[in-house]
Amino acid sequence: MKKFLLSICAVAMLLPARADEGMWIPMLIGKNYAEMSRLGLTLSAEDIYSINNSSLKDAILHFGGGCTAEVISKEGLVLTNHHCGYDAIATLSTVQKNYLDNGFWAKNKSQELPAEGLSVMFLERMEDVTSIVKTSIGGATGKEFTKKFDAIAKELSDEAAEDGKYVANVKEYFGGNQFFLLVYKKYTDIRLVGTPPKSLGKFGGDTDNWMWPRHTADFSMFRIYAGKNNEPAAYSASNVPFKPKHHLPVDASGQDEGDYAMIMGYPGRTNRYEVSYGVKLSINETNPAIVSIRDKRLEIMRKHMKGNKAVYLKLTSSYSRIANYWKYFIGQTEQLKRLNVVGEKQEAEEDFSMWARENDLKNRSLMNEFEEIYENYTPYAKHGVYFSEAFRASTLTKLASSMGPLAAALKKGEDADKIKKLTEDAQKGYKALMKEYDAGTEKEIFAAMAKMYYNNVPVDQHPSVYEEVIFKKYGKTDKAYTNYANYVFSNSFLANEAKFKAFLKNPKLEQIENDPAYIYTQSFVKNFTEKYAPKIETFNNEKKDLHRRYVKGLMKMNPGKKMYPDANSTMRVTYGKVAGYSNSEGKKFNHFTTLDQAVAKYKPNDDEFDMPKELIALAKKKDYGVWADKDGTLHTCFITDNDITGGNSGSPVINGDGELIGTAFDGNWEAMSGDIAFDKKYKRTIVCDIRFVLFLVDKLGHAPNIINEMDIYK
């Protein structure tokens, strides 16, 4: 389709190369170029990644540490997901100015709102430092490997950072068989430009989460501001919009089935080289534990959020984070079973062992070694989950844990400067944690988590506080946990902001050590760190050593095959096509959804399926403006067969000409095994159509100023 500029003034085991599978290193994307061109890419490899010239990588940024975003104008305008901007939007909101529920659109730059604590990073360059790192590490294994790697990584990173000008780190790839130095530039003056109301940004709620069809307007917009010479600077009214090396033009002409689709972003973690023993442990032990704990936490939070807008605004961001991966682990477990991933991995491991017996004698018993370490670790796996997910669920336990360094310094009689620094750190930590603190919610979570920990972690692994304090004081009954929680929250200075501030003015060791929240917390921490953390650390070190050997063996076993490393929160490129699918029951799903379908789901004042009356009116009149598809409807979302995972949220979906066609925000239920095993048949990426974004900015936000600064083609 001919387009014109628009302006409006109002490795499965080996992980082989496939068009739809693979999270490829952008610096090395040239090896995939022929296949990408065959599928419809018109750009050069240099157009995608270059350190000497402007390229697509310069428009892609790591957003807030856990998402991706893209620059879409020459004035630093940024597009990401609504759920990626959710915390910043909620933090900026009050009951009186509720941007989260009502939406927000800056009609000029002076109206843009500083998002305190939010930052973005641009990748400046990557450098293969494998030979340097391997020379430094030598033949080290276990703790010694980690120690030597940390030392050389710090040396390389410190040098590349140039005294704080850049952020730099060294990352492991292919299980520690390859290493790259990554150098970033970090910007911290980020301002909210626009967001749809939550009813649209989270349309479908938990019910539609991870599902297709989908109609969610999962987007938000921010702007990067810079100081002199376009360099990073702390927030200042004198800062100016950032001038990017590259920004993405927008293709508003629409997508057809089979069109080329490419995604660049920061996928968090995949574990596709995981062995069958690890998958079994996830299915049988760790995933069910995580789901059970989070289910209870969400139940308690919902009760306290309902009907209290102030509490809702405090907890909603935390609730969303917990709920997202609560449902994820349910789906992952279900799909791992459906796909018989354990059985498939066992077959692949048999093939590897047969090959190793003839070609790699060092690894001929590697699978037996894996089996042994998992057998030794399994009795403690659930304890690790309950310590991180249940014990640390309460803000009060986090606060009490943070008192440890100050208590140790007071006990040692450290000098006044040291104590002052620690009290300042404690104040900062307290402020950050109290952003999401509601006493009623926290008290109930504290009691529920204490009970779940006791009932689900083996008795011989319990901390002493149960028998020596809780049951001794309140008896071994269900009410004991609630009664104990009431006592702790009533008597801990950590649960009272005024008492905490008074303590910081004159901190005393006795006050910390006699605090009931600190006593409770220290019992758990001491029990875990002395008895179980060493077992978990030993397992992780042993697994890492075996994993490194396994991946290296797979590469030797299959020379000449294109391989991609597991995701590790570094920039990757994935390519494929716009594609519908049929599920396991034969039901056909189109590659797109429409606003008419969304309106059909509408439930007035519902927590999940409400929508603004103005949008209903626009839909009834078919007032889609220039954003309608050639079929006359307004497309809301579409799907591709790209390979993404958590961290890719907000990633740009780019056509063959390097233009933005949407922003990725989710995966589909049928393929939730994807972090461990890629499902070639069902895997889909769910994308918010850029035309839906522009329609909402235009017709609902009435913000032509935002649209006019983009390069939009139709």
Catalytic residue numbers read 83, 218, 649
- Work out the end-to-end distance of the chain between its first and last CA atoms, rounded to an integer number of angstroms: 9
Q: Which two tokens stand for residue 247?
A: 């920004």
60-63 and 660-667 strand pairing:
unpaired
Assess contact for 663 and 687: CB atoms under 8 A. yes
* 249 touches 712 (CB < 8 A): yes
Burial of residue 583 (number of CB atoms within 10 Å: 0-12, 13-18, 19+): middle
Q: In 3-state terms, what secondary structure has residue 4?
A: coil
- Tokens standing for residue 655: 């056509």
| Residue 565 per-residue DSSP state | P
Given the structure tokens 């270059």, which residue do they identify?
50
Closest to 607 in 3D by CA, of 178, 205, 25: 205
| Residue type at position 634 | L
Say if residues 129 and 156 touch (Cβ distance below 8 Å): yes
The answer to whether residues 221 and 194 touch, using CB atoms and an 8 Å cutoff, is yes
Residue 588 burial (C-beta neighbours within 10 Å; 0-12, 13-18, 19+):
exposed
Q: What Cα–Cα distance (Å) separates residue 108 from each residue in 79, 99, 232, 709?
A: 17, 17, 22, 11
* Ranges of H-type helices in 257-365: 276-281, 287-305, 309-338, 341-359
Q: Which tokens sit at 513?
A: 């050590």
| Measured CA angle at 154 (ends 149, 159), to 5 deg | 135
Distances (CA, A) of 675 to 336, 489, 647: 10, 40, 12
Two structure tokens written together for 269: 């973690």
> CA 408 to CA 522: how far, in whole Å?
12
Phi and psi torsions of 506, nearest 5°: -150, 70
Angle between helices 395-402 and 516-527 (to 10 degrees): 80
**379 membership: H or E segment, kind and range:** helix 366-389
Q: What is the C-alpha to C-alpha distance for residues 464 and 537, in angstroms, rounded to an integer?
A: 22
Tokens of 456: 């689900």
Amino acid at 362: K
Report the amino acid identity of residue 318.
S
Counting beta carbons within 10 angstroms of the beta carbon of residue 353, is it exposed (0 to 12), middle (13 to 18) or buried (19 or more)? middle
Cα 293 to its chain centre, rounded Å, is 19
The packing angle between helices 439-456 and 309-338, to 10°, is: 30
**Two tokens at 91?**
């933090």
For the chain, what percentages of helix, strand and coil (3-state, to nearest 5) are there? 50, 15, 35
CA-CA distances (angstroms) from residue 613 to 132, 267, 349, 610, 710? Answer: 61, 36, 57, 9, 28
Q: What is the CA radius of gyration of the chain?
A: 26
Residue 532: both structure tokens together: 């179980």
d(CA 511, CA 526): 19
How far apart are the C-alpha atoms of 294 and 306, rounded to whole Å?
A: 18
Q: Say if CB 209 and CB 160 are below 8 A apart.
A: no
Answer for the pair 300, 440: CB distance below 8 angstroms, yes or no.
no
